[in-house]
Structure 1
Amino acid sequence: MMSNFKYVKDSQVVITQLMLPSHSNFSGKIHGGFILNLMDQIAFACASKHSGQYCVTASVNKVDFVNPIEVGELVTLKASVNFTGRTSMVIGLRVDSENIRTGETKHCNSSYFTMVAKDEDGNSTPVPGLILTSKAEIRRFARSIIRQQESKNRTSRFDKNTFKIDDYLSYFEESNSKIELNL
């Protein structure tokens, strides 16, 4: 029988991988798609560890590549459950790289993966809740709640049936765009 609540630390996952030339893009840096693949794998591992179920990726919230990763660096990915809904979890991810020769580390990106637990028939299934034991864990949980609310507001504000062009024309004044509206 699965427990109703779990500690954040019980589901945390950390992986470190050496970046090889085969992971690089045409400019010699590590390909962002390769890093996204690693991020999805660790999000799956963390969510599955927390839920005890197979999990699927429902959405990825904002991936900003803030520093490039070089061939030969060690990349460390850290994942933990930041939020639990009824059947979904928000997995917080952090990606850092380390230059093996100099020991210099840099933050490369952070992201939030929403994962959904599935049962043997492929239906969404309930997940354990979180036991929050620090201000940081409470802050991350609260941030996930606010992010969900903001996402719903953004979606409804730009619904094609209710969108009002005049409300947004001022945004285009300094943009690199030209409007030629054919009504």
Structure 2
Amino acid sequence: MTSGTRREVNLRFLAEPSDVNFGGKVHGGMVMKWIDQAGYACAAGWSGCYCVTVYVGGIRFIRPIRIGDLVEVRARVIFTGNSSMHIAVDVSADDPRRSAAEKTTHCVIVFVAMGEDSRPTPVPHWDPITEGDRELEQYARKLMSLRTSIDAEVARFLEPAHDAR
């Protein structure tokens, strides 16, 4: 498979007892790990390069995942820049004895492809094909715009005057 040919990755597995939090459900940090793993596999598959996470935004935990649930983590490219890829990640889960999984978590991750020199490197361009693809691309563009104002606000709290010491 050449770079630029794998737009989507799906991981499927059972939620295990070692994934549990103090409330008896799957720990949010474990879900975030799965999201990052699926996002990385998707970005690396698209770009053909090692990729680094540069942004995770708007993560929403919709409902808990229970131990023993069949979990599916779906990651897909929804926008590409010069060296960056916006990857939408949806997590779904349900009891494997039933047939209809429910969405549990959603977010968008931005990855940057890295070259052999450990610097950002160009990625194949992605063009939306379907109406759904075009909507996802617009969603990514809107998030990029919102991120600019969020970054400015966060930058204020990175200044020494806001240091908690």
Alignment TM-score > 0.5, same fold:
yes
Matched, 1:123 2:125: no
Q: Deviations over 1:135-182 (max 9, x none)?
A: 11111111111211122134346764xxxxxxxxxxxxxxxxxxxxxx
Tell me what 2:138 maps to: 142
In 2: Cα distance, 1:127 partner to 1:146 partner: 21
Selected match of 2:37 from 17, 32, 41: 41
The farther-off stretch of 149-158 and 111-120 is: 149-158
Tell me what 1:60 maps to: 56
* Number of residues of Structure 1 aligned to a counterpart in Structure 2: 155
Counterpart of 1:54, as a letter, is Y
Secondary structure in structure 1 of the residue aligned to 2:59: coil
In 1: Cα distance, 2:123 partner to 2:72 partner: 27
In 2: Cα distance, 1:20 partner to 1:154 partner: 36
Measured on the aligned residues, the alpha-carbon RMSD in Å equals 1.8
Tell me what 2:7 maps to: 11
Q: Deviations over 1:20-73 (max 9, x none)?
A: 111111111011111110110010000000001000000101111110000011
* Structure ID, larger Rg: 1
Measured at CA, do residues 24 and 89 of structure 1 come closer, stay the same or move farther in structure 2, by a change above 3 Å? same
Q: Specify every segment of 5 or more residues in structure 2 that has no aligned partner in the other structure, as ranges.
A: 157-165
Q: Deviations over 1:73-117 (max 9, x none)?
A: 100010100000011000000100021233342110111000000
In 2: Cα distance, 1:81 partner to 1:17 partner: 22
Matched, 1:153 2:149: yes
Counterpart of 2:149, as a letter, is N
In 2: Cα distance, 1:107 partner to 1:41 partner: 18
Please list every run of at least 4 consecutive aligned residues from structure 1 whose deviation after the TM superposition is greater than 6 angstroms.
Answer: none
Measured at CA, do residues 68 and 159 of structure 1 come closer, stay the same or move farther in structure 2, by a change above 3 Å? closer
In 1: Cα distance, 2:89 partner to 2:26 partner: 18
**Identity percentage over the alignment?**
31
Selected match of 2:129 from 126, 129, 133: 133
Counterpart of 1:60, as a letter, is V
Q: Specify every segment of 5 or more residues in structure 1 that has no aligned partner in the other structure, as ranges.
A: 161-183
Selected match of 2:96 from 76, 100, 106: 100
Q: What are the equivalent positions in structure 2 for 1:22-33 lying under 5 Å apart? A: 22-33=18-29
Measured at CA, do residues 159 and 27 of structure 1 come closer, stay the same or move farther in structure 2, by a change above 3 Å? closer
